[in-house]
Amino acid sequence: MLKAVILIGGPQKGTRFRPLSFEVPKPLFPVAGVPMIQHHIEACAQVPGMQEILLIGFYQPDEPLTRFLEAAQQEFNLPIRYLQEFAPLGTGGGLYHFRDQILAGSPEAFFVLNADVCSDFPLSAMLDVHRHQPHPFLLLGTTANRTQSLNYGCIVENPQTHEVLHYVEKPSTFVSDIINCGIYLFSPEALKPLRDVFQRNQQDGQLEDSSGLWPGAGTIRLEQDVFSALAGQGQIYVHLTDGIWSQIKSAGSALYASRLYLSQYQLTHPERLAKHTPGGPRIRGNVYIHPTAKVAPSAVLGPNVSIGEGVTIGEGVRLRESIVLHGATLQEHTCVLHSIVGWGSTVGRWARVEVPPMTPIPTTPEPTWTVRACSRTGSCCLPSLYAAASGSLPRCSS
C-alpha cells in the first residue's frame, strides 16, 4: 500500500507568480491545459498500489479547490483529500503535523511532491529503487550547470551507492551539479527525524518563551533541518533522472513548463494535442485547445501554445509559445508571442504582444508579459511589467 502527499503551500507563498495567483490558487493555474497539480495527481494515480493522495497546505478550502478535488476523485477513482495547516509549517511541518493521517492504513512508503515542479515524475522507478534497497529518504535528483545549481538544493552523492553524503540548500558557491527535484519517496521511519526537529524547536522556543508551547515549533524545513543534518549518515539516498524537470516560480517558468508538458503529451496524452484538420486553424508543433474554445480557421497556432476554456481566437491571429487563459479574446490579426493572456482579457485588432525569446533558466524570472485587461481595438504598445502586475495597461500612443 502506498500514499502520496502533494505540498501546495499557501497564498503567502509564490509571490513571484503574481499577478497570476491573484485570480486562482497557484496550484490550480493551468499549465498545458490542466491545473498544475493535476500532472502530479495523474502520475501518482498510475503507480500500482496507490491508495490515497493527500494535499497539504494553508490555502482556504474555497470553491475552486473543492470543485477540483471532487472532479479529480471521480476521474482517477482515488481518495484525494485536502489537509489545511493551521499556519505555514514549512516543507516538513505539515508532514509531521498530519503524520497520523499519512500513516493511517500502514503504507509501506509515501511519495512527497512539491506542487511547483514540472516533471515526468518517474515514481515507479523510484519505488523500484526503494524496494530493492529500502532507506528512510529517497530524493529525486537531476543535473544542472554550475550557475543554475546555485538556485537549488545541491547534493553530493557516493557514485557507487548513491548515498547523499552532503546536502546544501541554495549554496553561495558551487557544491555539486546534482540538484534536488523536490520529489521524494519516504518510508514511515522518515517521520522520526521530523519528530526530533519538532522537539528540538519546542525546547529552543521554551528557552525564549516561558509561557509554554512555542508557536514556531511546528515549522520544519525538510531541506535545512532534515536533509542537511542527516546527510552522510546512511539514511538519505538519491535517484538520478534524465527526464524533464523544472520549477514553476514565475510567469516565464510557467511558459517553460507548459512547453515541457506539451512535448511530453506526445507520449502520455496524444489526445490532448490539437491536429491540423481541413477547414481548421493551422497547427504548428504541440498545441492544446480546450474543446469550448472558438478558433478562426485562418489563425496560426504553435508551437507550444495552450488555449483555455471559452477563449475566442479571431481571424488571422498568430500565437506562439504562449498561454491564453479562459474567457480571453484575441481579436483579428493579433500577434502574441512568448506571453500569457489573462482571464477574460481582450487584445484588440492588429495588436502585437511580444517578448524576445530567451533560453529559460527555470528559477530566473523572465520578462514575460501577462496581459490582464486590454479592450482597445487599435494598435497598442507593449504592456509594462508594472502594468502586468497592477492589472492596467498603458494607453496606446497611436
Query: What is the CATH number that goes with domain 2-206+216-251?
Result: 3.90.550.10
> What pLDDT, on the 0 to 100 scale, is given for residue 13?
56
- Kindly state the helix (H) or strand (E) to which residue 35 belongs, with its residue range: strand 34-35
Instruction: Please write the tens of the pLDDT for every residue from 383-394.
Output: 333 233 333 333
Q: Where are the domains of the chain?
A: 2-206+216-251, 274-372
Instruction: Please write the tens of the pLDDT for every residue from 212-242.
Output: 444 466 789 999 999 999 999 999 999 999 9
Structural domain 274-372, CATH architecture: 3 Solenoid (2.160)
**Residue 134: C-alpha distances to residues 108, 130, 187, 188, 189 (Å):** 10, 5, 8, 11, 11
> What confidence tier does 107 reach under pLDDT thresholds 50, 70, 90?
very high
Tell whether the model's pLDDT for residue 294 goes beyond 60: yes
Nearest to 93 by CA among 188, 9, 186, 198: 198
- Report whether 130 contacts 107 (CB < 8 A): no
- Report whether 29 contacts 35 (CB < 8 A): yes
- Give the mean pLDDT of 330-350: 95
Length, in residues, of the chain: 398
> What confidence tier does 375 reach under pLDDT thresholds 50, 70, 90?
very low
| Cα distance between residue 54 and residue 335, in whole Å | 41
Tell whether the model's pLDDT for residue 379 goes beyond 60: no
Instruction: Please write the tens of the pLDDT for every residue from 243-267.
Output: 999 999 888 889 999 999 999 999 9
> What pLDDT, on the 0 to 100 scale, is given for residue 182?
97
Instruction: Please write the tens of the pLDDT for every residue from 120-134.
Output: 999 999 999 999 999
Tell whether the model's pLDDT for residue 74 goes beyond 80: yes
- Kindly state the helix (H) or strand (E) to which residue 202 belongs, with its residue range: helix 191-208
Provide the mean pLDDT of the chain.
87
> What pLDDT, on the 0 to 100 scale, is given for residue 206?
54
Instruction: Please write the tens of the pLDDT for every residue from 27-58.
Output: 999 999 999 999 999 999 999 999 999 999 99
